[in-house]
Amino acid sequence: MTAKNTNKLKILNDPIYGFITIPNELIFDLIEHPYFQRLRRVSQMGLSYMVYPGAHHTRFLHAIGAMYLMQKAVRVLRFKNVNISRDEEEAVYIAILLHDIGHGAFSHALEHSIVSGISHEEISLKFMESLNVEFNGKLSLAIEIFKGNYHRKFLHQLISSQLDMDRLDYLKRDSFYTGVSEGNINSERLIVMLNVKDEELVVEEKGIYSVEKFIIARRLMYWQVYLHKTGIVAENILVKILKRAKELAFTGIELKTSTALNYFLYKDINSSNFDDETLSIFSQLDDYDILSAIKEWTNNEDKVLSRLSRMLVDRRLMRIEIQNESFSTKKISQIENEVKLRYNLNDEELGYFFIHDTISNQAYNSVKNQIHILYKNGELKETAAASDQLNLQALSTPVVKHFICYPKGEF
Amino acid sequence: MTAKNTNKLKILNDPIYGFITIPNELIFDLIEHPYFQRLRRVSQMGLSYMVYPGAHHTRFLHAIGAMYLMQKAVRVLRFKNVNISRDEEEAVYIAILLHDIGHGAFSHALEHSIVSGISHEEISLKFMESLNVEFNGKLSLAIEIFKGNYHRKFLHQLISSQLDMDRLDYLKRDSFYTGVSEGNINSERLIVMLNVKDEELVVEEKGIYSVEKFIIARRLMYWQVYLHKTGIVAENILVKILKRAKELAFTGIELKTSTALNYFLYKDINSSNFDDETLSIFSQLDDYDILSAIKEWTNNEDKVLSRLSRMLVDRRLMRIEIQNESFSTKKISQIENEVKLRYNLNDEELGYFFIHDTISNQAYNSVKNQIHILYKNGELKETAAASDQLNLQALSTPVVKHFICYPKGEF
Amino acid sequence: MTAKNTNKLKILNDPIYGFITIPNELIFDLIEHPYFQRLRRVSQMGLSYMVYPGAHHTRFLHAIGAMYLMQKAVRVLRFKNVNISRDEEEAVYIAILLHDIGHGAFSHALEHSIVSGISHEEISLKFMESLNVEFNGKLSLAIEIFKGNYHRKFLHQLISSQLDMDRLDYLKRDSFYTGVSEGNINSERLIVMLNVKDEELVVEEKGIYSVEKFIIARRLMYWQVYLHKTGIVAENILVKILKRAKELAFTGIELKTSTALNYFLYKDINSSNFDDETLSIFSQLDDYDILSAIKEWTNNEDKVLSRLSRMLVDRRLMRIEIQNESFSTKKISQIENEVKLRYNLNDEELGYFFIHDTISNQAYNSVKNQIHILYKNGELKETAAASDQLNLQALSTPVVKHFICYPKGEF
Amino acid sequence: MTAKNTNKLKILNDPIYGFITIPNELIFDLIEHPYFQRLRRVSQMGLSYMVYPGAHHTRFLHAIGAMYLMQKAVRVLRFKNVNISRDEEEAVYIAILLHDIGHGAFSHALEHSIVSGISHEEISLKFMESLNVEFNGKLSLAIEIFKGNYHRKFLHQLISSQLDMDRLDYLKRDSFYTGVSEGNINSERLIVMLNVKDEELVVEEKGIYSVEKFIIARRLMYWQVYLHKTGIVAENILVKILKRAKELAFTGIELKTSTALNYFLYKDINSSNFDDETLSIFSQLDDYDILSAIKEWTNNEDKVLSRLSRMLVDRRLMRIEIQNESFSTKKISQIENEVKLRYNLNDEELGYFFIHDTISNQAYNSVKNQIHILYKNGELKETAAASDQLNLQALSTPVVKHFICYPKGEF
Taking CA atoms, what residue in C is nearest to D287? C288
| Helical spans, DSSP H, in C135-207 | 140-147, 153-159, 165-178, 187-192
Residues in B closer than 8 angstroms to D391, CB to CB, are: 390-391, 394
Q: How far is C322 from chain A (nearest CA, A)?
A: 13
| Helical spans, DSSP H, in C222-256 | 229-250
Contacting subunits of A (3+ beta carbon pairs below 8 A): B, C, D
Mean per-residue pLDDT over chain B, rounded:
90
How many domains does chain C contain in total?
1
Closest residue by Cα to residue A19 from A10, A11, A7, A27 = A11
Q: What is the pLDDT confidence band of residue B125, given thresholds at 50, 70 and 90?
A: very high
**Is the distance from CB of D270 to CB of D235 less than 8 angstroms?**
no
The pLDDT of residue A225 is 92
Q: How far is B384 from chain D (nearest CA, A)?
A: 12
Please say if the pLDDT value at position A290 is more than 50.
yes
- Residue D381 φ then ψ, to 5°: -135, 145
Q: Is C355 on the interface with A (CB under 8 A)?
A: no
CA distance linking residue A68 with residue A13, whole number of Å: 12
Segment 298-327 of chain D within 8 Å of chain B by CB = 324
**Is the distance from CB of A24 to CB of A4 less than 8 angstroms?**
yes
**Is the distance from CB of A19 to CB of A12 less than 8 angstroms?**
yes
The pLDDT of residue C27 is 97
Between B370 and C309, the higher pLDDT residue:
C309
Please say if the pLDDT value at position C244 is more than 80.
yes
Q: Is D247 on the interface with A (CB under 8 A)?
A: no
Q: Is A381 on the interface with C (CB under 8 A)?
A: no
The answer to whether residue B136 sits within a structural domain is yes
The partner residue sitting opposite B18, judged by closest CB among C11, C19, C188, is C188
Between A215-229, B361-375, D118-132, the lowest mean confidence (pLDDT) is in B361-375
Q: Is D7 on the interface with A (CB under 8 A)?
A: no
The partner residue sitting opposite C18, judged by closest CB among B11, B19, B188, is B188
Query: Which residue type, as a one-letter code, is found at position C135?
Result: F
Given an 8 Å threshold on Cβ–Cβ distance, is D391 in contact with B388?
A: no
The mean pLDDT of C330-337, rounded to a whole number, is 95
Q: Is D258 on the interface with B (CB under 8 A)?
A: no
The pLDDT of residue B404 is 96
Q: What is the pLDDT confidence band of residue C377, given thresholds at 50, 70 and 90?
A: confident
B contact test, residue of A295, A312, A314 with most B CBs within 10 A: A295
Q: What angle do CA A49, A54, A56 make, to 5 degrees?
A: 60
Closest residue by Cα to residue D97 from D150, D149, D139 = D139
CA distance linking residue A88 with residue A99, whole number of Å: 16
Taking CA atoms, what residue in B is nearest to C187? B18
Closest residue by Cα to residue B51 from B179, B187, B206 = B179
Q: What is the pLDDT confidence band of residue A393, given thresholds at 50, 70 and 90?
A: low
Closest residue by Cα to residue D366 from D349, D386, D337 = D386
The pLDDT of residue C392 is 62
Q: Which long-range contacts (CB under 8 A, 24 or more apart) does B188-192 make?
A: B188/B72, B188/C18, B188/C19, B189/C19, B189/D181, B189/D182, B190/B163, B190/B214, B191/B69, B191/B72, B191/B73, B191/B76, B192/B76, B192/C11, B192/C19
Q: Is C18 helix (H, G, I), strand (E, B) or coil?
A: strand
Closest residue by Cα to residue C66 from C42, C95, C38 = C95
Between C217 and A258, the higher pLDDT residue:
A258
β-strand partners of D373: D203, D381
The pLDDT of residue B2 is 37
The pLDDT of residue A5 is 40
Q: How far is B86 from chain A (nearest CA, A)?
A: 28
Given an 8 Å threshold on Cβ–Cβ distance, is B57 in contact with A54?
A: yes
**Is the distance from CB of C49 to CB of D39 less than 8 angstroms?**
no
The answer to whether residue B41 sits within a structural domain is yes
Mean per-residue pLDDT over chain A, rounded:
90
β-strand partners of B358: B402
Q: What is the pLDDT confidence band of residue B388, given thresholds at 50, 70 and 90?
A: low
Closest residue by Cα to residue C110 from C51, C43, C36 = C43
Which DSSP state fits B344?
T
Given an 8 Å threshold on Cβ–Cβ distance, is C296 in contact with D41?
A: no
Please say if the pLDDT value at position B7 is more than 60.
no
| Burial grade of C9 (CB within 10 A; 0-12, 13-18, 19 or more) | middle
CA distance linking residue C317 with residue C237, whole number of Å: 8
Radius of gyration of chain C (CA): 23
Which DSSP state fits D327?
P
Most confident segment among B262-271, B352-361, C31-40: C31-40
- Residue A238 φ then ψ, to 5°: -60, -45
**Is the distance from CB of B389 to CB of D363 less than 8 angstroms?**
yes
pLDDT digits (tens, 9 = 90+) for C98-132: 999 999 899 878 877 778 778 889 999 999 999 99
Instruction: Flag whether the pTM goes above 0.80.
Output: yes
The pLDDT of residue D10 is 81
Q: How far is A202 from chain D (nearest CA, A)?
A: 20
Render each residue's pLDDT in chain D as its tens digit; 411 residues: 333 444 455 889 999 998 898 999 999 999 999 999 999 999 999 999 999 999 999 999 999 999 999 999 999 999 889 999 999 999 999 999 999 999 989 987 887 777 877 888 999 999 999 999 999 999 999 999 999 999 999 999 999 998 999 999 999 999 999 999 878 888 988 999 999 999 999 999 888 888 888 888 888 899 889 999 999 999 999 999 999 999 999 999 999 999 999 999 999 888 888 999 999 999 999 999 999 999 999 999 999 999 999 999 999 999 999 998 999 999 999 999 999 999 899 999 999 999 999 998 876 776 677 788 888 888 888 777 776 655 566 667 778 899 999 998 766
CA distance linking residue A216 with residue C210, whole number of Å: 10
Q: Is D20 on the interface with A (CB under 8 A)?
A: no
The mean pLDDT of A140-163, rounded to a whole number, is 96
The mean pLDDT of C309-335, rounded to a whole number, is 94
Residue B38 C-alpha from the chain's centroid: 15
Residues in A closer than 8 angstroms to B284, CB to CB, are: 295
CA distance linking residue C214 with residue C220, whole number of Å: 10
pLDDT digits (tens, 9 = 90+) for B244-282: 999 999 999 999 999 999 999 999 888 888 999 999 999
The pLDDT of residue C341 is 92
The pLDDT of residue D411 is 65
Residues in D closer than 8 angstroms to B230, CB to CB, are: none
**Is the distance from CB of B350 to CB of B405 less than 8 angstroms?**
no
The answer to whether residue D161 sits within a structural domain is yes
Three-state DSSP string of chain A: CCCCCHHHCCEEEECCCEEEECCCHHHHHHHHCHHHHHHHHCECCHHHHHCCCCCCCEHHHHHHHHHHHHHHHHHHHHHCCCCCCHHHHHHHHHHHHHCCCCCCCCHHHHHCCCCCCCCHHHHHHHHHHHHHHHCCCCCHHHHHHHHCCCCCHHHHHHHCCCCCHHHHHHHHHHHHHHCCHHHCCCHHHHHHCEEEECCEEEEEHHHHHHHHHHHHHHHHHHHHHHCCHHHHHHHHHHHHHHHHHHHHHHCCCCCCCCHHHHHHHHCCCCCCCCCHHHHHHHCCCCHHHHHHHHHHHCCCCCHHHHHHHHHHHCCCCCEEEEECCCCCHHHHHHHHHHHHHHHCCCHHHHHHHCEEEEEEECCCCCCCCCCEEECCCCCEEEHHHHCCCCCHHHHCCCEEEEEEEECCCCC
Domain harbouring D59, CATH code: 1.10.3210.10
Please say if the pLDDT value at position A128 is more than 90.
yes
Q: How far is C375 from chain D (nearest CA, A)?
A: 38
Host H or E run for residue C195: strand C194-197
Residues in D closer than 8 angstroms to B216, CB to CB, are: 212-213, 216, 390
| Helical spans, DSSP H, in D148-201 | 153-159, 165-178, 187-192
The pLDDT of residue B411 is 65
Q: Is A10 on the interface with B (CB under 8 A)?
A: no
Closest residue by Cα to residue A78 from A92, A64, A61, A66 = A92
Q: What is the pLDDT confidence band of residue A372, given thresholds at 50, 70 and 90?
A: confident
The answer to whether residue D411 sits within a structural domain is no
- What is the biggest distance separating any 2 CA atoms in chain C, rounded to whole angstroms? 71
Cβ of C147: how many Cβ atoms within 10 Å? 14
Between A384 and B371, the higher pLDDT residue:
B371
**Is the distance from CB of B178 to CB of B171 less than 8 angstroms?**
no
The answer to whether residue C264 sits within a structural domain is no
A contact test, residue of D5, D12, D192, D204 with most A CBs within 10 A: D192
The answer to whether residue C301 sits within a structural domain is no
Which DSSP state fits C367?
S
- Domain of residue D37 covers 6-228+370-398
**Is the distance from CB of B383 to CB of B391 less than 8 angstroms?**
no
The answer to whether residue C391 sits within a structural domain is yes
Q: What angle do CA C310, C315, C318 make, to 5 degrees?
A: 85
Please say if the pLDDT value at position B186 is more than 90.
no
Q: What angle do CA D231, D237, D238 make, to 5 degrees?
A: 90
The pLDDT of residue C171 is 95
Q: Is B104 helix (H, G, I), strand (E, B) or coil?
A: coil
The answer to whether residue D200 sits within a structural domain is yes
CA distance linking residue D233 with residue D318, whole number of Å: 7
The mean pLDDT of B214-240, rounded to a whole number, is 91
Between B218 and D384, the higher pLDDT residue:
B218
